[in-house]
Structure 1
């Protein structure tokens, strides 16, 4: 089985988002997207019980035209939205939302974590939607750790979020053909990840160090974009590591982004701004 070669390494520089440092391997000046993946943010923070709950996390804000997805690595995330969804997902879980025609949501620490304090570590990605799905009715899919199928091997575990790994299928129904995996490897463990030949692929190391077969050593806080010239990749952990693996069928459409709106044209973005201002993406009043 031929392994894919490396297109480029992308270091996750720290940028400021809402007054907090966030690691962002892409987009950068080097790469605007890895179609269909638009963005990856890795954020770790300490939740203080001294902060008012209404000031913690991210308050109500809109989205249209893509799927914001949050992976919880430590702590938890309380999702509320203008469609009435209200769900808490803890460590090992995933919050998956297809914004479609427009929705307003918030992502805050759960009350139990807020009351006692603690560390919250999350990754959020934005997955583009093709033009034919940008104005669908929004939908929300919470996935708890206990509901997530796991593939295990010698020294590694792989959570399958969406797509198929061997005969294990992820529960999330994505609107774009995807393979999304969460890997945990002990030092010395080796695993092979097969990738459909038409998919773009990128993976991000939250920490540790790996050796990628055919390439060499890669440290934590790097994303690795792979070329579409093989059937997968083989990873050996030199140190214990956690990896988010993303692969998907490219959409190959024009992308116009402005803040929380991802459309195909500038006119569509302007319409999204007007619709939000007119309340057409709903109103979220948090309890």
Structure 2
């Protein structure tokens, strides 16, 4: 197995997103996007006890043209949208929404967030949709921790959860609209595993915490590693207990026009998205 070489090691700087501190390794100064991945946010926040739970988190907002995906590591997320979906997913689960032609959703803490620790830790990943899929009907795929298959290394030190795509013959439950693999993983100190990646995929990892040796290079928590497309995958070895995200995807190789919550192919399509949202064509979300 040939290791892919490292293209970039990127520190996830902290940004203020509407009052929420988030770490953002993608996009960054080094990498604008890693086709088909557009953005990654990592948030680990304490839910304020002086704010009603149904007013905390992220209120109703629109999307069109891509899939915003939330991977939940602590706490939970209560998803509601203008298509009538209303669901809570807790730690270890994923909420995958293909926004398609347009949808409005909110992401609040669950009603029992303070009983389960009061923290929300999530990764939100934006996965671009091809032009042929951007104006299709929106689809929402929730997956609980119990519904996401995993593999465990023979020594028990490495666990890899397969959300979408496949790994070592294990297929994830989420039917993504493009060819993407999204995995979460936990490596105990000393754990070692080779991550096979299709030759035609772009690939990266993001460390929530801990420390890994990546092809022999030391990488700490809050850093992302972007790989060149020159090998079969990459070997990871944990110097400390480490939680990480692993993503790979077939590039779309299409023009991107994006602004705020919309990702299209042309500026005209962007203007149409804003117009359609203002005209109410993406529906209405009234939270109960």
Which ranges of 4 or more aligned residues in structure 1 deviate by more than 4 Å?
A: 114-117
Instruction: Give the 3-state SS of the residue equivalent to 2:113 in structure 1.
Output: helix
Instruction: Give the 3-state SS of the residue equivalent to 2:159 in structure 1.
Output: strand
1:172 aligns with 174
Answer yes or no: is the 8 Å Cα contact 2:75–2:117 preserved in 1. no
What is the CA-CA distance between 1:116 and the residue it aligns to? 7.1
Instruction: Give the 3-state SS of the residue equivalent to 1:269 in structure 2.
Output: helix
Matches within 5 A, 1:139-178: 139-153=139-153, 154=155, 155-178=157-180
Answer yes or no: is the 8 Å Cα contact 2:13–2:23 preserved in 1. yes
1:167-219 Cα distance to aligned partner (Å, 9 max, x none): 21001001110111111000000011100000000110000000112x41111
What is the CA-CA distance between 1:8 and the residue it aligns to? 0.5
Answer yes or no: is the 8 Å Cα contact 1:48–1:117 preserved in 2. no
Answer yes or no: is the 8 Å Cα contact 2:41–2:124 preserved in 1. yes
Matches within 5 A, 1:10-25: 10-25=10-25
What is the CA-CA distance between 1:47 and the residue it aligns to? 1.0
2:267 aligns with 266
TM-score normalized by structure 1? Answer: 0.98
2:243 aligns with 242
Give the total of aligned pairs: 286
**Partners of 1:123 and 1:166 in 2: CA distance:** 24
Question: Is 1:188 equivalent to 2:190 in the alignment?
Answer: yes
What is the CA-CA distance between 1:113 and the residue it aligns to? 0.9
TM-score normalized by structure 2? Answer: 0.97
Answer yes or no: is the 8 Å Cα contact 1:178–1:249 preserved in 2. yes
**Partners of 2:210 and 2:242 in 1: CA distance:** 5
Task: Provide the aligned C-alpha RMSD in A.
Answer: 1.0
Matches within 5 A, 1:1-287: 1-114=1-114, 118-153=118-153, 154=155, 155-213=157-215, 215-287=216-288
What is the CA-CA distance between 1:166 and the residue it aligns to? 1.2
Instruction: Give the 3-state SS of the residue equivalent to 1:111 in structure 2.
Output: coil
What is the CA-CA distance between 1:117 and the residue it aligns to? 6.0
Runs of 5+ in structure 1 lacking a partner?
none
